[in-house]
Amino acid sequence: MAEIMESNKPEKGGKRKPKKFSTNIDMTPMVDLMCLLITFFMLTTAFSKPKVMEIVLPEKKQDSSESPAIDKKRALTIILGENDAVYYYEGIAKPDSLPTLIKTDYSKDGIRKYLLKRNKPLYVKIDEFKKKVNKGELVLPKDSITSEIRKLKDADKVGPIVLIKATDKIKYKNFVDIIDEMAITNIARYAVVDLNPLELKMLESAPK
């Protein structure tokens, strides 16, 4: 609605002056509307996009049921148990000498501490590389940063090969947590596999 302000009325008898209208437009309703629209867009907009964690699982093979040979010294099995429990043992379980399971948890002093200890050489290498990039000593495009890290991981010959085995009763959170631990501690090689009967037996006698 335009607000029209009339100028002084023409004097009697005088010449008829053309009426002067001011051109002021009342902007209040427009401002109101814009306020509403802005509020709407501000509330519906999603600025930060959800983050995703990428995992690649090995292809399922029908023909070979054999698992690839793993260096006994490097093998590390992590078993995810009920109620946020994590068990691990080193090496490969054999029927005649069952290794004992060590119980730990998902906290930073739990499995992470142990994984870092095992994977220290590689972790330090990758960490130094990342620090260089962050400080600006190394200027690389993002793609080559990831490929450099991949190269470092591939070249690693001492770090653990982690086998993650989940029992049936765990929550999805536990699974994501353990994969996340792998990312935090820069583990080069890990795989998600099924429990074998020996490990089920070991779990029965595991510390509660």
Applying CB under 8 A, which residues contact other proteins?
A: 24, 26-28, 30-31, 34-35, 37-38, 41-42, 44-47, 49-60, 80, 108, 112, 116-117, 120, 123-124, 127, 166, 168-177, 179-180, 183-185
Q: How far is the CB of 86 from other proteins (least distance, A)?
A: 14
What is the rounded CA–CA span in Å between residue 161 and residue 146?
20
3-class secondary structure, 25: strand
Asked if 180 and 172 touch (Cβ cutoff 8 Å), the reply is no
Residue burial 189-208, b: 16+ Cβ < 10 Å; e: rest: ebebeebeeebeebbeebee
Choice between 99 and 175, CB closer to other proteins: 175
Cβ-based nearer residue to other proteins, 100 or 147? 147
- Residue 24 vs 67, nearer CB to other proteins: 24
For other proteins, the closer CB: 37 or 155: 37
CA separation for the pair 60, 192 (Å, rounded): 12
Find the shortest distance in angstroms from Cβ 202 to other proteins.
Answer: 20
